[in-house]
Amino acid sequence: MFIYLTSEKNNVIFDFLKDQSGQTVKKFIGDFNFQEFVSDHLMSYDSCRYLAVDLECIDDYPDGFFDAVDSILQYFNFHLRLIVVSFDLDGDILAGLYKRGVFNIITGTDKDTVEKRILKVFSQDGMSPEDHNLGDAFSSLKSSNIQIATPVQDDLIPTIQTVIKNESVFEEKIIAVVGSQRRTGTSTTAFQLANYIASKGKSVAYMEGNNHQHLKEIVKTYKMEERDQVWQMNGVDYLFSDSEFFKHYHYIIADLGELNEDKVEFIKNSHFVILCGDAKCYEKNHLIQAITFLKSSGISAYHLFLHFVAPNELLLLKSQYEDAYFFETTPQLFGWTVNSKLFKRLLSK
């Protein structure tokens, strides 16, 4: 998700990205106390990967503004890139941003310059001291008494964002996989879907978003290659729930395990939601309860994957769940080919 706090005057500067990526900016237009927004509201957008702020709409700077910036760098920096927009930048504000290591700053006097800087901000590495003609000199501007996290340019938590690489734009999509109860095939679905996506040449990560700790044993059993706490096999990166992301991906598959209240906000901020269930007569109540829970939480856009369906029950279940996906069971954890048509149908939505 890309959030932009903006004045009416500057609210359209990112709109050209939509033509390249299809990404729509979530705009908040008006006057804002930035410190209040960060402390009271930013946590609600935990899938936000970019936060752009137009200084013309901020009424609490410099002091409140920089307190908010420090909070972002301390608590959100591992997954959030801060972008500052100003076409009349005060020197003290600029120095304050530099010493905090904030270089993703949009300025300019003409449309082409502004758009080039926006593209740079959304590139893999973002803007650097060199882009501001600072070089190594910026190190002397760093404050010695501000305890904040060192900015990471290529970081990531499972969230939604637009990324620009090599002049092309792609939208990073989050797929949340959740079960109506335990042992309904969430991990199998997530693993197979990740491998299917990798087979199509897309970058993809699987993230273990539950406390089952299956991934620990899977990594050992399949002797996956480890690099910077990211385990790799067959083009898929595998990460634990506490791993830090240092790459951008076309897709992130979040294996959330059993559905509960704690996962609702993450689910709401995902591009695709997969509900895995078992439609056996003695399991059906769990499935109905999960569907009811999603709807009562305001989540109506989800894809129902039914597992372990007996052939003689298939016709009946198709009449009851017309839009359901019927998952083919396979003993191969990464064996996506048997469900390739199902995954193709899902991703075409």
pLDDT at 71: 84
First to last CA, the chain: 19
The rounded average pLDDT for each run of 10 residues, N- to C-terminus, in the chain (349 residues) is 88 84 78 87 74 92 86 73 88 88 89 89 85 58 34 32 38 90 92 92 91 90 85 91 80 94 92 91 88 95 91 86 90 87 89
Q: Spell out the residues 6+ positions from residue 44 whose beta carbon is closer than 8 angstroms to its own.
A: 265
CB–CB of 277/290 below 8 Å? yes
pLDDT at 282: 81
CB–CB of 278/287 below 8 Å? yes
pLDDT at 140: 43
Question: Strand 303-307 relative to strand 325-326: parallel, antiparallel, unpaired?
Answer: parallel
pLDDT at 237: 93
What burial class does residue 221 get, using C-beta atoms within 10 Å of its C-beta: 0-12 exposed, 13-18 middle, 19+ buried? exposed
What phi and psi values does residue 184 have, to the nearest 5 degrees? -115, 15
pTM: 0.54
pLDDT at 175: 96
